[in-house]
């Protein structure tokens, strides 16, 4: 009887308890999920935490009866929305994240949760209009769903792959008209593909450098999807590598492959592709060595990104990438999925352009006889790779497998070391006071690999001295605003490779 006559509302006390539990659950669960490196192990768990908070908070609001207290309810929901957007931030430099901090799926889910919070506020504070609001929402969702279904129907049935619409042709870009994946885990261009491309230097996109230079190049690919002007059955040289050898931003007739044939009596074929790792290169050799049977295989190793990022064997690499050779899934063909990634790239580029400020200058240098200016500065996109010693054993194992494969084919392997641009120009430039480039220590990877190669009977050649000498003589061997070789750089490398092999007598 005493409890029945009490004026104290125990439901409000329960509501306060549930609201406190919502906050407490978040603090406890987040602490439990933080890994040893300070990062949340799974984004899925983060959203699970948010869902539990929503349930606890919603029930708490129900018992608190805040429907008439619009200000408090609005502040609580606003705090929830701000928390959701803050908790899912993942700062990154990747182009496929919205504004450099949100993955596309997180971005859209945050929008949905924000709209749900707004809708909850409206439904709670306008009890007399709930039926009309619910009907309008249902009709809007149904209309949007019907339109979305019509748009996606061609992709569902396989008639249209929207990647062909949203992804332009271009070196290293994903998409069915840019890459075809093979069961061995490697990719190439479509057979006999041809196109022209005009692009700024990569430093403009990655560092925010202010240059007006554009590089136009014509690209032509052979029946295997590699950049070769002519098909040669039994070439003297087979070149394996990445964008340096494919000829990123240079015309067809000035690549290393073409200049070897123009400057010597020997024939050469390239099976190089932009973004190839050593794993991809080894897979390409496994697939194509029998097709060509060259005298010499020249496997180019770029110290900037060819150290294996994953501590796995080549066999594990093939298993992990087996799904790439399967027919494209609907999610890959989807209109809205491709639109999402295109918008993410656009927003990231916009954010990068607005935020860079003086960032490009900190990764630049200039020649001693000229003052620094955005147009004449030399920019450095690649910093020396990290954890070299831990990743080196996997590189060595891949080279040993490549050497054994080439020997089985009756050919000889030459491993050619491509230096980073800073190692070629370090002593030829002056650096701004706030430049971080001058603090980059030389990697000295070539010297370590040369010693190891000599001990294991592998022919190893460092291209650094030849490129350094040409640069010291005034030849621009790397683009000012890009990490790749100029046509003159390709020529230096072509002559260096031929001179080395001629001295060895491998081409007799």
The per-residue pLDDT for range 261-301, each reduced to its tens digit, is 999 999 999 999 999 999 999 999 999 999 898 999 999 99
35 and 121 in a single domain? The answer is yes
| Mean local confidence (pLDDT), 127-152 | 86
| pLDDT at residue number 19 | 62
Supply the range of the domain harboring residue 146: 2-156
More confident position, 486 or 82: 486
* Within a domain: 87: yes
Over 90: is that where the pLDDT of 59 sits? no
Q: Are residues 128 and 187 in the same domain?
A: no
Per-residue pLDDT at 47? 64
Q: What are phi and psi of 493, to 5 degrees?
A: -65, -45
User: Could you give the 3-state DSSP secondary structure of residue 181?
Assistant: strand
In the prediction, which pLDDT does 26 show?
Answer: 59
Q: How confident is the model at residue 118 (pLDDT cuts 50, 70, 90)?
A: confident
* Residue 410 backbone zone (phi > 0: left; psi -120 to 50: alpha; other: beta): left
d(CA 23, CA 159): 49
The overall average pLDDT reported for the chain is 86
Mutual orientation of helices 464-472 and 487-504 as an angle, nearest 10°?
Answer: 130
Same domain, yes or no: 47 and 138: yes
Which is more confident, 256 or 123?
256
Answer yes or no: do 148 and 37 share one domain: yes
Segment 18-37 mean pLDDT: 56
Q: Tell me: do 314 and 434 sit in the same domain.
A: yes
pLDDT value of position 402: 96
Residue 427 is assigned to a structural domain of this protein: yes
Between CA 299 and CA 237 the distance in angstroms is 10
- Asked if 296 and 507 count as a contact pair (C-beta separation under 8 A), the reply is yes
Q: Do residues 413 and 453 both lie within one domain?
A: yes
Q: Are residues 109 and 202 in the same domain?
A: no
- Let me know if residue 432 belongs to a domain: yes
Specify whether 112 is located in the same domain as 185.
Answer: no
Q: Is residue 314 part of a domain?
A: yes
The pLDDT value given to residue 35: 46
**Total domain count for the chain?**
2
* Co-location of 137 and 245 in the same domain: no
Q: Where does a domain end: 114, 133, 156?
A: 156
Residue 461: is its pLDDT beyond 80? Answer: yes
pLDDT of 200: 92
Give the per-residue pLDDT at 23: 61
More confident residue, 209 or 35: 209
Average pLDDT over residues 476-500: 97
pLDDT surpasses 50 at 37? no
On whether residue 242 sits in a domain, the answer given is yes
Residues 150 and 248 in one domain: no
Which whole number is the average pLDDT over 178-200? Answer: 91
Question: 397 versus 33: which is more confidently predicted?
Answer: 397
Q: Are residues 49 and 180 in the same domain?
A: no
Same domain, 89 and 206: no
Residue that terminates a domain, selected from 156, 190, 213 = 156
User: In this structure, is residue 162 part of a structural domain?
Assistant: no
Judged against a pLDDT cut of 50, whether residue 505 lies above it is answered with yes
**Cα separation of 143 and 140, whole Å?**
5
Confidence of residue 80 (pLDDT cuts 50, 70, 90): confident
Selected residue with higher pLDDT from 100 and 501? 501
Domain boundary among 131, 156, 181: 156
Does residue 278 lie in a domain region? yes
Q: What is the pLDDT of residue 369?
A: 86
Q: Are strands 194-199 and 215-220 parallel, antiparallel or unpaired?
A: antiparallel
CATH code for the domain in which residue 193 is found: 3.40.50.1110
The phi and psi torsions of 247 (rounded to 5 degrees) equal 100, 55
């Amino acid at each position: 009887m005493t409890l029945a006559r009490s004026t104290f509302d125990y439901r409000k006390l329960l509501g306060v308890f549930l609201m406190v539990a919502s906050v407490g659950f978040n603090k406890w669960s987040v602490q439990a999920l933080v890994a040893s490196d300070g990062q949340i192990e799974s984004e899925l768990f983060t959203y699970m935490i948010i869902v539990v908070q929503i349930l606890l908070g919603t029930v708490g609001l129900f018992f608190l009866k805040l429907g008439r207290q619009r200000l408090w309810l609005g502040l609580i929901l606003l705090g929830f929305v701000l928390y959701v957007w803050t908790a899912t931030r993942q700062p990154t430099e990747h182009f496929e994240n919205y504004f450099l901090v949100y993955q596309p799926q997180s971005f859209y889910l945050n929008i949905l949760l924000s709209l749900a919070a707004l809708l909850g506020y409206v439904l709670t504070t306008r009890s007399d209009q709930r039926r009309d609001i619910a009907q309008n929402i249902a009709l809007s969702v149904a209309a949007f769903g019907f339109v979305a279904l019509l748009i996606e129907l061609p992709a569902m049935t396989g008639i249209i792959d929207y990647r062909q619409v949203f992804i332009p042709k271009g070196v290293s870009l994903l998409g069915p008209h840019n890459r075809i994946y093979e069961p061995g885990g490697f990719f190439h261009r479509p057979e006999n593909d041809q196109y022209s491309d005009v692009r700024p230097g990569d430093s403009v996109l990655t560092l925010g450098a202010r240059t007006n230079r554009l590089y136009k190049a014509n690209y032509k690919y052979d029946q295997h999807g590699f950049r070769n002007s002519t098909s040669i059955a039994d070439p003297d040289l087979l070149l394996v590598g990445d964008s340096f050898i494919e000829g990123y931003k240079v015309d067809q007739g000035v690549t290393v492959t073409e200049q070897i044939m123009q400057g010597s009596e020997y024939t050469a074929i390239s099976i190089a592709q932009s973004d190839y790792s050593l794993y991809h290169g080894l897979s390409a050799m496994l697939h194509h060595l029998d097709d060509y049977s060259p005298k010499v295989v020249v496997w180019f190793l770029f110290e900037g990104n060819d150290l294996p990022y994953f501590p796995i064997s080549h066999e594990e690499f093939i298993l992990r990438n087996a799904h790439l050779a399967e027919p494209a899934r609907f999610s890959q063909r989807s209109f809205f999925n491709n639109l999402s990634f295109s918008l993410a790239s656009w927003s990231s580029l916009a954010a990068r352009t607005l935020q860079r400020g003086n960032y490009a200058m900190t990764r630049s240098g200039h020649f001693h006889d000229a003052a620094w200016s955005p147009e004449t500065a030399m920019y450095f996109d690649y910093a020396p790779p990290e954890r070299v010693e831990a990743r080196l054993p996997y590189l060595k194992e891949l080279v040993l497998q490549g050497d054994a494969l080439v020997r089985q084919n009756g050919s000889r392997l030459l491993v050619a070391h491509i230096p980073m641009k800073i190692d070629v120009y370090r002593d030829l430039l002056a650096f701004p006071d706030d430049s971080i480039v001058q603090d980059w220590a030389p990697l000295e990877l070539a010297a370590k690999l040369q010693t190891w190669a000599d001990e294991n009977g592998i022919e190893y050649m460092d291209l650094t001295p030849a490129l350094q000498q040409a640069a010291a003589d005034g030849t621009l061997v790397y683009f000012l605003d890009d990490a790749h070789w100029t046509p003159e750089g390709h020529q230096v490398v072509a002559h260096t490779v031929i001179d080395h092999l001629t001295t060895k007598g491998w081409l007799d």
